[in-house]
Amino acid sequence: MTTNRTLYLIACAAPPARRLSVPIKAAQQAGWDVCLILTPSAHRWLTEDAEGEMEALEQLTGHPVRHQYKLPSQPDVLPPPDAMLVAPLTNNTLAKWATAVSDTLALGLITEGIALVPIIALPHFNDAQAAHPAVQRHVDFLREAGVTVLLGEGGFTPHKPKHGNLDAYPWQAAIDALPA
C-alpha cells in the first residue's frame, strides 16, 4: 500500500455529493491522505441541507473542508496534492473546466492541476444534459489534455432524467483509476 500521498477530492453539486464519506474512506484505505474541496453550490448543499455533514467530513479527513479562495494574506491550510479526483463532476463544472474558467477554488485547482498532477474525473449527469453538443467536446478536450474522464464504459453512464441511482454511482472505478 502507498502512504503519505495527498489526494484532493473535489466535489460538485450533484447527488453523489451526499455520499462523500464513501470515496474518502476508500481512498484512505488505499493509502491516501484525503482533502475535500467543494464547489460553492456543493458547499451550500452540505451546509444548508445536511445538518452536521461538514463537521463529520472534517473529522473524517482531518482537514478543513474548503470551498472558496483564501485571501492573499492567508496561509495555505491544505498540503499540496499528488493527485486529484473530481467527483461528482457536474455538467456545469465540466464546461467551465474545459474552457479554463477558474472563478471558484475548485475550478482554480483543477484548471491549474492539469499541468501539475494526475486528475481523474467521474461525471454525474443525466442523458438529456449529456446530449448537449458541447458536452462530448468538453470530455474529449479534457482527455486530450491528460485528464482521465470516466464517462461511458468502465465509468459513469448517464441516466434518464429523474432516474439517477446513487447506489450505482461507480466510486470504486474512480478509486481504482488513481495513480498506483
Ligand X SMILES: Cc1cc2nc3c(=O)[nH]c(=O)nc-3n(C[C@H](O)[C@H](O)[C@H](O)COP(=O)(O)O)c2cc1C
Minimum gap (Å) between residue 31 Cβ and ligand X: 28
In the set 2, 15, 29, 68, which binds ligand X (CB under 6 A)? 15
Total site size for ligand X, rule CB under 6 A:
14
- Measured from the CB atom, the residue of 42 and 85 that comes closer to ligand X is 42
Q: What is the dihedral of CA 50, 119, 172, 44, to 10 degrees?
A: 10
For residue 77, the 8-state DSSP code is -
Round to whole Å and give the CA distance between 143 and 79.
26
Minimum gap (Å) between residue 30 Cβ and ligand X: 25
Q: Could you say whether residue 102 binds ligand X (CB under 6 A)?
A: no
C-alpha cell at 121: 474525473
Q: Could you say whether residue 91 binds ligand X (CB under 6 A)?
A: yes
Round to whole Å and give the CA distance between 180 and 77.
26
- Measured from the CB atom, the residue of 4 and 48 that comes closer to ligand X is 48
For residue 159, the 8-state DSSP code is B
Q: Is 66 helix (H, G, I), strand (E, B) or coil?
A: strand
Q: Which parts of this chain interact with ligand X (CB under 6 A)? A: 12-15, 39, 41-42, 90-93, 124-125, 129
